[in-house]
């Protein structure tokens, strides 16, 4: 097997990298792919909590790299979703304990085992970022429709290009009402500045907060707009790159409302 | 050393020659004496040297240059003595006109750095003279130039033109919405977009940076003919 290594990054913290990683990972696993998600935020691990697997951690990525355990021993299998595995970060170490060459070694091992490996990159562009992008084949840049997030994403895109990685963009936490009022940048403004391929648009959704806190995958909730958006992003990554991107703003049209009332599938964001 | 200005004979090395400025109003005998003084000391350098005798602005008397030249050849074995090749000083306008006629810019080597693509946050572009970006300059990106900065796209980042002290430099963009602009030593914070869709530019006016519509202001319309900038 020769799987893909995809790094999920953003530059700025708190834009939803971890949620995106967990959600796309779960969505692809539900679509039948063998998926590993790796928490690269050494010292500040979160991905285990978002996935509800924190109480099952015995070994972590640093243990694997330093040879204290086998890769298989450290990978935690999700009990709800087949084929979804987590390699957690160490909470007690420092990002500098991992070197880029360690990542090349680890990713080569993961490529053989999994169809998709997602690396949840830490915020910032320092060692942790460099480690995460070292062996990545593709990159997903997560950005919120706000100026500071765009600026950091832009910086990260420049750095990814310099490593010959062509990133794709997810615009996260769009609030259509605010965009319509003109109080929030639209995804078009974001794409205009960043000028990279759009992978998906994710609406602000309270269900994401709840599912993160309870450790349940948002993509399993069919009522959640964000969950459905993540499902479609996963499909675009897995052989359906042309699946049309739906504009959250366009849902306000009367035909869409009528369609929803007449019993068509809800929440097709 | 201003007193040297009034010496009847002054000597300096120019290229491979000795440039000797003399005061032609003095009699030849006195000039020979004055010439002897420096040449006595420079005897070893003077042998076979090429000497230019420059009488300055004043007209030299008939045969004065020749007489002094012969004196230098006899006494100090200099190689060749000649008056300076005179160029008529021409006023600037005439020079520019003749350049226009000769299409002088055909031989001008470009000092502009022309780049295409998008300059992203954290990237910094420096040009010795003019900088032209065919693309956008994103927020957080920086462009620094010794001359003008021209952005054929959106200018959203920081543009620093005319470094270190060229106050004639301009910053122009098709979509002018910079974070900050600097020209020479002046700094101006970016202003919100004027709303117009036409290209704008920033320049120094009365010791402040002003932004104007490029088409309306047409800053170079008063130039009589195209000039190398």
CATH number at residue A58: 3.40.50.300
- Give the DSSP letter string of B76-108: H--SEEEPPPP-----HHHHHHHHHHTTGGGGP
pLDDT band at A266 (very low <50, low <70, confident <90, very high): very low
pLDDT band at A169 (very low <50, low <70, confident <90, very high): very high
Position A145 scores a pLDDT of 96
Give percent helix, percent strand, percent coil of chain A, each to the nearest 5. Answer: 45, 15, 40
| Between residues B64 and B90, the one the model is more confident about | B64
ipTM above 0.90, yes or no: no
A222-238 as b/e, with b when 16 or more CB fall inside 10 Å?
eebbbbbbbbbbbbbbb
CA A182 to chain CA centroid, Å, is 27
Cβ distance of A193 and B140 shorter than 8 Å? no
Instruction: Indicate the SS3 state at residue A228.
Output: helix
Give percent helix, percent strand, percent coil of chain B, each to the nearest 5. Answer: 25, 35, 45
At CB < 8 Å, which residues of chain A contact B? 147, 150-152, 154-155, 157-159, 193, 195
Q: Count interface pairs A-B at CB distance under 8 A.
A: 30
Mutate to test the interface with A, among B116, B119, B122 (most CBs of A within 10 A): B122
Out of A36-45, A138-147, A260-269, B127-136, least confident range: A260-269
Q: Which residue of B has its CA nearest to A11?
A: B121
Taking the C-alpha atoms of residue A66 and residue A74, their distance in angstroms, rounded to an integer, is 12
Which single residue is written with the structure tokens 């992008």?
Answer: A133
Stated as kind and residue range, the H or E segment containing B114 is strand B113-116
Determine, yes or no, domain membership for A266: no
Determine, yes or no, domain membership for A234: yes
Cβ distance of A158 and B156 shorter than 8 Å? no
Domain ranges, residue A245: 4-261
Q: Does domain B111-217 have CATH number 2.40.10.120?
A: no
Determine, yes or no, domain membership for A268: no
Query: pLDDT averaged over chain A?
Result: 91
Determine, yes or no, domain membership for A267: no
Cβ distance of B139 and A150 shorter than 8 Å? yes
Determine, yes or no, domain membership for A230: yes
Position B88 scores a pLDDT of 55
Q: Does domain B7-82 have CATH number 1.10.10?
A: no
pLDDT at A267 over 50: no
Positive or negative: CA dihedral B188, B192, B194, B196 = positive
Query: Mean pLDDT throughout A243-261?
Result: 68
- C-alpha angle A213/A219/A221, rounded to 5°? 80
Angle between helices A206-214 and A225-237 (to 10 degrees): 80
| Between residues B60 and A51, the one the model is more confident about | A51
Q: Which residues of A touch B141 (CB under 8 A)?
A: 154
Positive or negative: CA dihedral B5, B9, B13, B19 = positive
Percent of chain A residues topping a pLDDT of 90: 83
pLDDT at B18 over 90: no
The total number of structural domains in chain A stands at 1
pLDDT band at B229 (very low <50, low <70, confident <90, very high): confident
CA distances in angstroms from B187 to B121, B184, B204, listed in the order given? 20, 8, 10
Residues A176-233: tens digit of each pLDDT? 999 999 999 999 999 999 999 999 999 999 999 999 999 999 999 888 999 999 999 9
Cβ distance of B121 and A195 shorter than 8 Å? no
Domain boundaries, chain B: 7-82, 111-217
pLDDT band at B86 (very low <50, low <70, confident <90, very high): low
Instruction: Indicate the SS3 state at residue A58.
Output: coil
Residues counted in chain B: 229
Q: Which residues of B touch A154 (CB under 8 A)?
A: 120-122, 138-141
Position A268 scores a pLDDT of 44
Cβ distance of A151 and B156 shorter than 8 Å? no
Residues A25-55: tens digit of each pLDDT? 999 999 999 999 999 999 999 999 999 998 8
How far apart are the CA of A192 and the nearest CA of chain B, in angstroms?
10
- Give me A123's structure tokens: 């915020």
| Between residues B23 and B125, the one the model is more confident about | B125
Position B93 scores a pLDDT of 59
Taking the C-alpha atoms of residue A189 and residue A122, their distance in angstroms, rounded to an integer, is 25
Cβ distance of B139 and A155 shorter than 8 Å? no
Mutate to test the interface with A, among B138, B157, B177 (most CBs of A within 10 A): B138
Position A33 scores a pLDDT of 95
**Paired residues of A143 in beta bridges:** A171
Query: Mean pLDDT throughout A124-136?
Result: 94
């Amino acid at each position: 097997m020769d799987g893909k290594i995809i790094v999920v990054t953003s530059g700025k913290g708190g834009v939803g990298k971890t949620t995106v990683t967990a959600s796309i990972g779960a969505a692809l696993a539900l679509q039948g792919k063998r998926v590993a998600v790796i928490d690269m935020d050494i010292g500040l691990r979160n991905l285990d909590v978002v996935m509800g697997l924190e109480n099952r951690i015995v070994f972590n990525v640093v243990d694997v790299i330093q040879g204290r355990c086998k890769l298989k021993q450290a990978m935690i299998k999700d009990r709800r979703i087949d084929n979804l595995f987590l390699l957690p970060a160490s909470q007690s170490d420092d990002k500098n304990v991992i070197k880029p060459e360690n990542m090349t070694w680890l990713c080569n091992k993961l490529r053989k085992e999994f169809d998709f490996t997602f690396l949840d990159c830490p915020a910032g562009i320092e060692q942790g970022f460099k480690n995460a992008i070292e062996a990545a084949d593709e990159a997903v840049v997560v950005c919120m429709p706000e100026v500071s997030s765009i600026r950091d994403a832009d910086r990260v895109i420049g750095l990814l290009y310099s490593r010959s990685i062509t990133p794709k963009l997810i615009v996260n936490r769009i609030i259509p009402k605010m965009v319509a009022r003109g109080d929030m940048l639209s995804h078009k403004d974001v794409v205009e500045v960043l000028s990279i391929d759009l992978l998906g648009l994710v609406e602000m959704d309270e269900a994401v907060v709840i599912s993160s806190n309870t450790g349940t995958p948002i993509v399993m909730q069919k009522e959640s707009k964000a969950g459905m958006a993540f499902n479609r992003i996963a499909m675009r990554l897995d052989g359906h790159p042309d699946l049309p991107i739906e504009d959250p703003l366009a849902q306000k049209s009367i035909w869409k409302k009528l369609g929803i009332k007449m019993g068509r599938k809800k929440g097709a964001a | 050393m201003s007193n040297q200005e009034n010496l009847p004979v002054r000597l300096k090395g120019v290229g491979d020659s000795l440039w000797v400025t003399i005061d032609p109003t003095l009699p030849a005998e006195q000039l020979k004496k004055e010439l002897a003084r420096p040449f006595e000391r420079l005897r070893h350098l003077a042998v076979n040297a090429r000497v230019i005798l420059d009488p300055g602005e004043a007209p030299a008397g008939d045969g004065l240059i020749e007489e002094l030249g012969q004196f230098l050849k006899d006494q100090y074995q200099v190689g060749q003595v000649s008056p300076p090749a005179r160029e008529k000083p021409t006023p600037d306008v005439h020079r520019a006109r003749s350049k226009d006629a000769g299409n002088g810019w055909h031989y001008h080597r470009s000092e502009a750095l022309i780049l295409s693509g998008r300059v992203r946050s954290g990237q910094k572009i420096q040009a010795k003279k003019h900088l032209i970006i065919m693309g956008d300059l994103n927020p957080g990106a920086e462009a620094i130039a010794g001359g003008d900065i021209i952005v054929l796209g959106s200018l959203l980042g920081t543009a620093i033109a005319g470094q270190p002290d060229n106050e004639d430099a301009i910053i122009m963009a098709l979509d002018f919405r910079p974070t900050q602009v600097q020209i020479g030593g002046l700094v101006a914070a970016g202003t919100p977009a004027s709303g117009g869709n036409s290209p704008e530019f920033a320049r120094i006016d009365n010791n402040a940076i002003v932004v104007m519509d490029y088409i309306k202001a047409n800053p170079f319309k008063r130039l009589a003919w195209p000039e190398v900038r």
